[in-house]
Structures are given as C-alpha cells and as structure tokens.
Amino acid sequence: MDSILVTGNGPLSGQIPIAGAKNACLTLMPATLLSEDPLTLTNAPRLSDIKTMTQLLQSLGAEVSSLQDGQVLAMSSHDLTSHTADYDIVRKMRASNLVLGPMLARLGQAVVSLPGGCAIGARPMDLHVEGLEALGAEIELKDGYLHAKALGGLKGAVHEMRFASVGATENIVMAATLAKGTTVLKNAAREPEIVDLVNCLRKMGAQIAGEGTSTIEIQGVDRLHGATHQVVSDRIELGTYMLVPAICGGEVELLGGRKSLVESFASKLEEAGVSISETAKGLKVSRKNGPVTSVDVITEPFPGFPTDLQAQMMALMCTAQGVSVLEERIFENRFMHAPELVRMGAQIEVHGGTAKVTGVDQLKGAPVMATDLRASVSLILAGLAAEGETTVSRVYHLDRGYEHVVGKLEGVGAKIERIKSQ
Ligand code: EPZ
C-alpha cells in the first residue's frame, strides 16, 4: 500500500485547479440507465471511485468509454443485460446503490446488494426503500440483496423523507422521472450535487422543479433521451485546498472554485481570520498574519457546514489560537482522524459526536494512518503545517476522492511525495 511523505515547508502559494465533483459524477453516471440514448459527461474527475462505478455499469451491460484522459465519459445503456448490482462491486463503494432507482424505473426490477459496514457509520438504506415503496415498488431483503419490483411501472406520489438523505433523494428523483403522474418529494436534500443531477435529467427531457429546495416536484414522462452534461466543480476538493493557505500561511487561487458552493464553510474560515475573495478564475484564499483563531463547527445537511470538510477543519483547529468544539451530526463515527492528529501533537478530546480541540503552537511530523477518504486528506493538511516529516499510510483511501493530490500540492510549493509500496 502506497504512502505519502509530507515535510512541513512554511507558507504555500500559487494556483490549484479544482476538478469535477466525485459526488455529482457518482449520481450522474447511473442516470444513463434511465434512457436507451447515449449520455456524455464532461469535466469528470479521474478517481478510483469513478472506475468502480464504470465497472458496475458495465456489469449491467452499459457501455462506458473514458475519453480525453478520463475527463469525458461516453455512456450508453441501450442493451442492458442484467439488473443485479453485485456485492463484489457494491462493497467497494456504497454509491453503487444509486443504480437502484434508475433500474427500477427503466426495467421494472432491480436487485442491489446492501453495501455492508462503513468506517464512518452504519449508513442503512431504509430512506431509499421507503421512498421507492411510496412510488409503488415492492422491495424485500433476501441474502443481503434488496430485491425491488415495479412490473406495472412506478406511480407518482407525495412522500416526506424522515431525514434529508443525499443518496435517497437522488434515487427517488431519478426513479420518479419515469413514473406515471407527479411525485412531490418533501424534506429532500438540497446539496449542489442534486441540483447538478436535476440539471442533467432536465437535459434528458425530465420535468422537475424545486431542486436545491426541500421540496422537489417531478412530473413523470414516458421516456428520456440522450444528453451531454458538464459535471459541477467539486466543492469538497475546493474546501480542502482552501485550507492549505489557512493552515500553512500564504496565498492560493483555486481555479474553477465558486464561493456559492461553500458558503457556510467559507464564513467559518473568515471567522477564523482567513481572507477569501472571488477572482475571474475562481477563489483566492490567504492567511498572512499569524495563526487562525478557533471557531466552533456543527455539521449539517446543505446549506449547513458539510460533514465532508469536518476532518480537514479539525486539522486547522489543531493549530488555532484557543479552544474549538466540533460537533458531527451526520455520521455517528467520523472522528477517526482525531487519534492520528494527536500522534502529531494535537490536543483533542472526543466524547461521542463532539470533539474539543485545544490549539497548539506547532504540530510535529509522525507516521500516521488514513482510515477513510476525508480523514486521509486531513492528515496531509496537518503534515503540511507540521515540523519535520509526516508519513501517511493507506492512501488508497485518498485516491477515491482526490485526483493528482501530490502534483497539485507540489504546484504551490509543498514538499510532498508518494512512496510506492514495495
Ligand atoms: C453522500 O452520502 C456523500 N456520498 C457523502 O460523501 C456525504 O458525506 C453524505 O452524502 C452527506 O453529505 C456521495 O454522494 C457518494 P446520506 P450518502 O444518505 O448519500 C443516514 C465523501 O466523503 N441514512 O445523506 O450516503 C446515514 O446513515 C462521502 O465523499 C439513513 O439513516 O449520505 C447518515 O447518517 C462520505 N438511512 C445520514 O443519513 C438511509 O436510507 C446521511 O446520509 C440513508 C441515509
């Protein structure tokens, strides 16, 4: 297993390009299952998770070609040969469950493995099932697989979700595009990735309104046609790299970044003393005067503070002046980066879903281990600000959500290299 070696190197400056969003691409790709016509995605990120989704779609009989160095995905689901998403693929990546709604709507049946355990929480699929059952599907769990049927087709309905789940909203919205009649989805998730999905579905001929609000209305149609869609920028990659000048000092311009994608996060950074300004090419972030000030954070569904930036924000708070309290309200086990940061000299006390961080003057380099995608990059951020060398092991987690992380950070002056496993 490869590792990454980071050596603290003082303030960093330059430009970092922001890629297309992993979490948008992972829901846009299954949308191809809704139509016989081709769907092409541009600005696709080059990540191992995208390769896994490609593998899954191909296992169902879809054609997926990766073009232009992987930034264009040309897909066609004209001749699907299977409606079973196999455990061997699903266990590698939970987002595989986003084929359930589209297959059910298009084929009238779908068999999807339950993903199983996850490092950051139980992550059940009950909200997906409830929503699809409201559209008339019959779903039963057998041998670890969800068997879903709607042989007579799905029917529009009014459904209120018990929690604004991102994945359940995406599955239900995609399924409802081909249902008979109108679906009104209440307490829907409002994430930018859902807005991007709806923009693409509309290009395919879907009739949808209300995306980005808590109520989404979908008027079912008989069929969807092909389209070409540009994947929205990755707000989590953007937020992650906004923290580079915040934690090390310096000034970085994030090319393709938009403040509207990260409002709640940006306002917390500004509260901590970081300056953020919009440029013609994106966002400029700088910290020139001394360490940041501690701020408190509570993770919430969009437009609240994103849970996918909590670990990275904790790394910053480890170097802040004062005490900060971070509350994780989305996932029940998302502080596994804390003990690794403590190995680097941080002062963190975790009690259930709350972490109290007392800032220290200087982190110290140490060998640490990545436990999940966002935890891995928080350790790299800490390593950039630490004295000496930090070795982050198990970086396969990182490859799932960050393309060219070593190259992008080297580009702003970081001392960082990937150590290939023997
Ligand atoms: C999406 O996961 C993202 N993944 C996650 O990003 C992100 O952390 C999460 O949304 C929240 O923003 C993708 O888009 C591929 P949820 P998802 O359904 O859809 C509970 C990353 O780092 N829940 O909104 O799985 C669930 O257990 C990843 O890129 C149920 O109880 O998130 C969790 O506690 C990690 N029943 C909460 O809701 C359900 O049926 C939020 O989950 C579904 C969810």
Tens of pLDDT, residues 101-147: 999 999 999 999 998 777 788 889 999 999 999 999 999 999 999 99
Q: Does the beta carbon of 23 sit less than 6 angstroms from any atom of ligand 1?
A: yes
The band of 330, judged by pLDDT with boundaries at 50, 70 and 90, is very high
Quick check: CB of 229 below 6 Å from ligand 1? no
Give distance in angstroms: CA of 38 to centre of ligand 1.
28
189 CA: nearest ligand 1 atom = 24
pLDDT digits (tens, 9 = 90+) for 226-239: 999 999 999 999 99
pLDDT at residue 421, as a whole number: 84
What pLDDT digit, counting tens, does each position of 180-228 carry?
999 999 999 999 999 999 999 999 999 999 999 999 999 999 999 999 9
Average of per-residue pLDDT across 323-328: 98
**Percentages of the chain per state (helix, strand, coil), in multiples of 5:** 35, 30, 40
How do 323-327 and 354-358 pair as beta strands?
A: antiparallel
pLDDT given at position 122: 81
pTM listed for this prediction: 0.98
- Provide the sign of the torsion angle of the four alpha carbons 334, 197, 39, 257, taken in this order: negative
123, with CB counted inside 10 A (0-12, 13-18, 19+), is middle
Given the residues 25, 118, 200, 248, select the one marked as catalytic.
118
Q: Is the CB of 304 under 6 A from ligand 1?
A: no
One-letter amino acid at 39 equals L
Which residues, in sequence order, are CB contacts of 51 under 8 Å at separation 6+?
Answer: none
- Tell me if 8 CB under 6 Å of ligand 1: no
Strands, sheet with 282-287, edge to edge from the N-terminal-most edge strand: 12-17, 250-255, 282-287, 275-278
Quickly state the pLDDT bin for 321 (edges 50, 70, 90): very high
Identify whether 318 is a catalytic site residue.
no
How far does the centroid of ligand 1 lie from the alpha carbon of residue 112, in Å? 17
Res 51 pLDDT > 80? yes
Q: How far apart are CA 414 and CA 363, in angstroms?
A: 16
Q: What is the pLDDT of residues 147-186, one digit of tens each?
A: 999 999 999 999 999 999 999 999 999 999 999 999 999 9
Which residues lie across from 6 on neighbouring strands?
390, 416
> In this structure, which residue's CA is closest to atom 9 in ligand 1?
166
Residue 303, preceding peptide bond in cis (omega within 30° of 0)? yes
Burial class, 97, CB count within 10 angstroms (exposed 0-12 / middle 13-18 / buried 19+)? buried
Residue type, 390: T
Distance CA 146, CA 129 (A): 9
Amino acid making up residue 94: R
Residue 385 Cβ < 6 Å to ligand 1: no
Q: What ligand 1 atom has the least distance to the C-alpha of 128?
A: 40
